[in-house]
Amino acid sequence: MTKTAYKIRFKAKLCRPAESAKTHSWSFLVLPKNASAKLPSRGMTAIKGTLNGFPSQATLEPDGQKSHWLKVDRKLSEAAGAEAGDVVTLDIAPAAEEPEPAVPSDLRKALAAAAPKARALWSAITPIARRDWIHWITSARQSETRARRIKNTCSMLAGGKRRACCFDRSGFYSKSFSAPKEAL
């Protein structure tokens, strides 16, 4: 794909998150509001494009402020010749298809042991719906809550429920999403 095929071009500062300041395993950037406004959703959005000219695909996360942020792993930042503190250039467009989310091992095990109806519905729902269930589970702060949500997910799927209950995909109303804090 040529650069002219991408719909949204912007520059942003690559930041080191406070939670991984010592490991340098990843960085992030927050999209300018005007770039984010061109996307089809305030929620999680799959994109394709380039970072400093290096091709990539990713899922933007909502920041709870009607914009998005992007997690940049070390492999991508090294390939793009960028590190935390640098201003990078992005050319992006919404992806034609949503990527399949990574299923956490505890959920994968629970689904394998779940009722056949739950497994069948999990396979039948969209990648976006699976991603929402996964986010609802992984957003739990305590292991007991996470375990309960996994159990409830299997039960609700077995009962025919296709979406996680009361899930605000933008994070704007529930503040369930936010960009990481930058390391100082």
pLDDT interval class at 166 (50, 70, 90)? low
- As a whole number, mean pLDDT of residues 86-99 equals 92
Contact 172, 41 (CB under 8 A): no
Secondary element (H or E) of residue 49:
strand 45-51
Q: Beta strand pairing status for 8-13 and 87-94?
A: antiparallel
pLDDT interval class at 4 (50, 70, 90)? very low
- Distance from C-alpha of 171 to C-alpha of 62, rounded to nearest angstrom: 7
DSSP 67: S
- As a whole number, mean pLDDT of residues 159-166 equals 87
pLDDT value, residue 12: 96
pTM of the model: 0.71
- Distance from C-alpha of 10 to C-alpha of 126, rounded to nearest angstrom: 30
Nearest to 180 by CA among 36, 7, 16, 41: 16
- Distance from C-alpha of 131 to C-alpha of 44, rounded to nearest angstrom: 9
- As a whole number, mean pLDDT of residues 76-93 equals 95
pLDDT value, residue 180: 76
Asked if pLDDT for residue 175 goes beyond 70, the answer is no
- Distance from C-alpha of 169 to C-alpha of 132, rounded to nearest angstrom: 8
pLDDT value, residue 24: 72
Q: What is the pLDDT of residues 27-71, one digit of tens each?
A: 999 999 999 999 988 888 899 999 999 999 998 988 888 889 999
- Is residue 32 helix, strand or coil? coil
Written as one letter, the residue type at 132 is D
pLDDT value, residue 3: 43
Cα angle for residues 60, 77, 90 (degrees, 5° grid): 50
DSSP 17: B
- As a whole number, mean pLDDT of residues 15-21 equals 78
pLDDT value, residue 86: 96
Joined together, the tokens standing for residue 85 give 């503190």
pLDDT interval class at 99 (50, 70, 90)? confident
